[in-house]
A and B are shown apart, each in its own frame.
Chain A
């Protein structure tokens, strides 16, 4: 079992809709959780991080963390074509390493 699991997609949503991405992790001791966006051929770019159970909102993005169920999700509201990218979930268990999922590819249809 991989440490961090994501649905690979592709997830296709119409422009203006909500895109919902899910991520599960295996290490119950994980402490911090990150969502990175990666455009094709580019480097991962941090868009959200969350440490505590509950929701964290930043603009059109909301991260949700449920440590009891060991999942973290990302909602993208009012999806735009520019949101089309691969979204990587990353988990840290308290040391310096990040464990990444394989990513979910999102396509926003104009």
Chain B
């Protein structure tokens, strides 16, 4: 497909479980971002990759959150020992250039921790 693809679309996890969220960016896009969107709020920055390099992880809420993009294309956001406050929509976005170019968002993964 031509857009950013995320899977799964929905994920329900019991508190304490680990989850892995996948993002397939638009082919050839250099930049990849993860954002977290709580209900009724705007997206909040989590982390940024330029190709395979994670240049900024300052938005990750805790050390339970980990992201990787080993080959510079597909990215995975992993959350260990999930907590209820992790419940949100996790959005992946990519852009063709480095940094300041308009973002193309995926449809997100809605994570519910029970």
A in complex with B: yes
The size class of the interface chain B forms with chain A is 20 to 34
Q: Tell me the nearest residue of chain B to A32, going by C-beta.
A: B100
Contact across chains for A97 and B56 when beta carbons are under 8 A apart: yes
Contact across chains for B102 and A43 when beta carbons are under 8 A apart: no
Instruction: From A14-22, A44-52, A53-61, A67-75, give the one contacting chain B.
Output: A44-52
Contact across chains for A31 and B100 when beta carbons are under 8 A apart: yes
Contact across chains for A98 and B40 when beta carbons are under 8 A apart: no
Query: Which residues on the A side are within 8 Å of B48 (C-beta)?
Result: 96-97
Query: Which residues on the A side are within 8 Å of B45 (C-beta)?
Result: 97-99
Q: How far is the CB of A99 from chain B (nearest CB, A)?
A: 8
Partner of B105, one of A45, A101, A103: A45
Contact across chains for A88 and B42 when beta carbons are under 8 A apart: yes
CA distance in complex: A45, B56 (Å): 24
Give the one of B33, B98, B102 with max A CB within 10 A: B102
B62 CB-CB contact with A under 8 Å: no
Q: How far is the CB of B35 from chain A (nearest CB, A)?
A: 8
Contact across chains for A102 and B41 when beta carbons are under 8 A apart: yes
Give the A-binding residues of B (Cβ under 8 A). Answer: 4, 31, 33, 35, 40-45, 48, 50, 55-56, 91, 98-100, 102-108
